[in-house]
Amino acid sequence: MHDTIATYRGLTLDPFQRDAIRAIEAGQSVLVSAPTGTGKTLVADYIIEKTFREGRRVIYTAPIKALSNQKFKEFKRLLGDEHVGILTGDVVIQPEAPILIMTTEIFRNLLHTDRERVADVAYVIFDEIHYIDDPHRGSVWEESLIFMPPAMRFLGLSATIPNVDELADWIESVQGRPVVVVGHTERAVPLKHHLFERNLGVCDRDKLFKRYKRRAKRLGTTDAGRIRAKMDPTTHMDLLAEIVPEYLPILFFTFSRRRCESHASEAAAVHDLLSAGEKAQVQALLAEHAERHPGTGAARLAEIEPLLLRGVAYHHAGMLPLVKDLVEDLFEKRLIRLLYCTETFAVGLNFPCRTVCFDAVTKWDGTTFRALSNREYFQMAGRAGRRGLDEIGYVYTVVDFNFFSPDEFPTMSEADVEPLRSRFTLTYNTVLNLVANYSPEEIRDVLDKNFASYQTRRRTERLQRELEEVEVMLAASPRGKGSRKSRKKQGGTGSMNPAKLKKRRIQLKRLLRELGGTAAFHAEFDAKRSLLEALDYISDEGLTSRGLFASRIYGSELLVTELFFRGVFHDWDADELNALAVSIDYEPRKGEVRPRRVVFDIGTVMRAVNLLRKMEELYLGYTLLEFNPHIAQAAYEWSRGASFSALAEYTDVDEGDLVYAMRRGIDILRQVRSAAREDAALAAKLSECIKRMDRDEVSILL
């Protein structure tokens, strides 16, 4: 690549894209931080095409399977079916292909247990690398960056993050080679943010907050800061009346599956957004999808058809995947003008629109209702504005004073996007693989390398410097006053009076004590190692047979291992094993009822569950083990050949959740089969399990 490159795939490259490609040509690792919709993925496409043409291998990792699946189809079209493979746990196609698409978890797993398979990979691409801040999965990105082979380079693609240089500095310290940071803050299409309240109409933040303060003063507020008196609600329909049709197409983010569906029905009853010719195109695509997916698929497509024919739809994780695929297809073809969706639609999938709307700025995060972070807000708002089509992307937020609290409102300023924080934690699998592959000294070194330890060290250094300044100031003046010259030199700290300096010294010492350092990770490792030793996973010689097996299981590794060594996978039949697999680590949604009868020997399982919970409480002081047979009966009947529609008799969970659980079950069964690969009879049984589960509506068509 020459410095004079200006275009790629017929597109004129922006300066930040040229900078990233220039660094890639120089064989460097690159971290690109840029707003949504600015063309970051074009850099990834360039790496993949370049590496493939050179006869080398490249891995593309994504945080969600939907994005992995989309990229798999995209690169097959570009490079040919035979050159592209995918590994997502439940889907394995051409795993030896030169271009491999996978979830980040799979890449981390390969680094732990099968490094030879990635030894010749030239580049690994981490799409949405800001997921390093995900509370549940962020550790996966850290481990991937820590354990990457020395010769491998990476491209990290991230939304705008304020501490991208800190992230790059940490990676450099871990990998021992430079990381080129390519930052870009200007959006291809600038965003214009508005609020909407039925009495105020479209307004800005200042006007809305002034109105809130006047009403709050007159009517009083609750402890949460909400106005006490009931007022006429502001709804999504009020906003649509204001902005349709001028601001179509619209993505309307709604943080409830049920509201997605009900809002779409309400909107479609009033708005018909397609021409006769467009309706015919929708009907043709519907017929094509219905023919490919008979049974339940066709029934669900028929249910959403009236909405689609008016250019309205909904999209959430509880839908059958095949219906979601159709909705995405229609949106991409601009045959859906108004789409109600949950935030999963904003992760990676490239579906820009003219306008983004929010029906609320609070969401349920699985534990509590909380305000959207600024990063979450911009992840979604950034979909507004289509490059080459719109001069401005519009963002509207519905404000209902019945639920409004000023403390639960994002600032709507990209300058306030939160910095990335480490979420590093040690899984049992990681502990086992560290013990298997590293000496005690190397393990201590690895534990000191994580991003959390790095951030702690950096903050400790800053606090120590400030503490030293405070001590100097206090020592410089026996009376504690200090000269004007010294106060000026010391800036803010130096301008403090003696009492404030002493108070700040106490604060700094307390903060330093609370930070601790890397000791917490060493303590966590030691506690989990002790637990694994007590369970006979680790001995003085290294990993035992139990430990070796568990080191190849990712997620619920202790429960799966205990059940395996108690003979469950050998003794139970295929249908019982499928029912078991979907119950492992299953988290029921609110309102799901636990069944009175379970189709397998629940006693055997619960003895293992109770043992592990007791041991975790003893050694760690907590337990996170999940085992819930809420959908076991449905999986059992499905395994025995029941139709998907018949499963409604055994569970009322959303169909998308049921499919997701079964695909997770398939993933678990694949892992057990791989971990016990020498046992041909068991492998054959588990293959039969997977075959019975992986059919019809549960299958992923790629």
Q: Tally helices (H) and strands (E) across the chain.
A: 27, 21
Report if residue 173 sits inside a domain. Answer: yes
pLDDT of residue 493: 55
DSSP class per residue in 48-75: HHHHHHTT-EEEEEESSHHHHHHHHHHH
Report if residue 617 sits inside a domain. Answer: yes
Identify any residues that bridge with 627 across adjacent strands, giving them in sequence order: 584
Whether residues 569 and 513 share a domain: the answer is no
Structure tokens at 477: 């003046």
Maximum Cα–Cα distance across the chain: 88
Is 17:42 a contact under the CB 8 Å cutoff?
yes
Last residue of a domain, one of 416, 440, 469: 416
- Provide the CATH number for the domain around residue 664: 1.10.3380.30
Residue from 395, 404, 409 nearest 239 by CA: 395
pLDDT tens figures, 364-415: 776 777 889 898 899 899 999 998 899 999 999 999 988 888 888 888 888 8
First to last CA, the chain: 33
Residue 90's SS3 state is coil
Report if residue 522 sits inside a domain. Answer: no
Number of CB atoms found within 10 A of residue 686's CB: 23
Report if residue 657 sits inside a domain. Answer: yes
Structure tokens at 338: 């108004």
Whether residues 150 and 213 share a domain: the answer is no
Residues of the chain where predicted confidence (pLDDT) is lower than 70: 1-4, 348-349, 366, 477-496, 516-517
Last residue of a domain, one of 125, 151, 183: 183
Report if residue 601 sits inside a domain. Answer: yes
- Provide the CATH number for the domain around residue 92: 3.40.50.300
Whether residues 76 and 104 share a domain: the answer is yes
Whether residues 196 and 319 share a domain: the answer is yes
Q: Which residues does 65 contact at the CB level (< 8 Å), separation at least 6? A: 88, 90, 91, 103
pLDDT of residue 129: 93
Whether residues 316 and 228 share a domain: the answer is yes
Single pTM value for the model: 0.88
pLDDT of residue 350: 72
Report if residue 430 sits inside a domain. Answer: no
Q: Which residues does 284 contact at the CB level (< 8 Å), separation at least 6? A: none
Instruction: Report the C-alpha gap between 698 and 200 in whole angstroms.
Output: 48
Whether residues 195 and 178 share a domain: the answer is no
Q: Which residues does 516 contact at the CB level (< 8 Å), separation at least 6? A: 456
Report if residue 692 sits inside a domain. Answer: yes
Structure tokens at 261: 């569906």
Instruction: Report the C-alpha gap between 370 and 367 in whole angstroms.
Output: 9
Report if residue 460 sits inside a domain. Answer: yes
Alpha helices in 630-654 (DSSP H): 632-639
Q: Strand (E) positions, 298-374?
A: 312-315, 338-341, 355-358, 362-364, 369-371
Whether residues 250 and 345 share a domain: the answer is yes
Whether residues 609 and 472 share a domain: the answer is no
**Which residue is listed with tokens 């008799």?**
649
pLDDT of residue 477: 63
Instruction: Report the C-alpha gap between 103 and 298 in whole angstroms.
Output: 30
Whether residues 300 and 318 share a domain: the answer is yes
DSSP class per residue in 263-275: HHHHHHHH-----
CA triplet 63, 64, 67: central angle to 5 degrees? 105
CA triplet 385, 388, 390: central angle to 5 degrees? 40
Question: What letter represents residue 305's amino acid?
Answer: E
Number of CB atoms found within 10 A of residue 609's CB: 20
Instruction: Report the C-alpha gap between 317 and 333 in whole angstroms.
Output: 21
Domain limits at 62? Answer: 7-183
Is 290:297 a contact under the CB 8 Å cutoff?
yes
Identify any residues that bridge with 340 across adjacent strands, giving them in sequence order: 252, 314
Whether residues 411 and 499 share a domain: the answer is no
> How many structural domains compose the chain?
4
Whether residues 459 and 587 share a domain: the answer is no
Positive or negative: CA dihedral 370, 372, 373, 376? positive
Long-range contact set of residues 293-300: C-beta below 8 Å, sequence gap at least 24? 293/322, 293/697, 295/643, 295/644, 295/645, 295/696, 295/697, 296/320, 296/643, 296/644, 296/645, 296/655, 296/697, 297/322, 297/323, 297/697, 299/645, 300/655
Number of CB atoms found within 10 A of residue 444's CB: 15
Residues in the chain: 702
pLDDT of residue 147: 94
pLDDT of residue 4: 54
Whether residues 214 and 148 share a domain: the answer is no
> Cα Rg for the chain, rounded, in angstroms?
28
Question: What letter represents residue 304's amino acid?
Answer: I
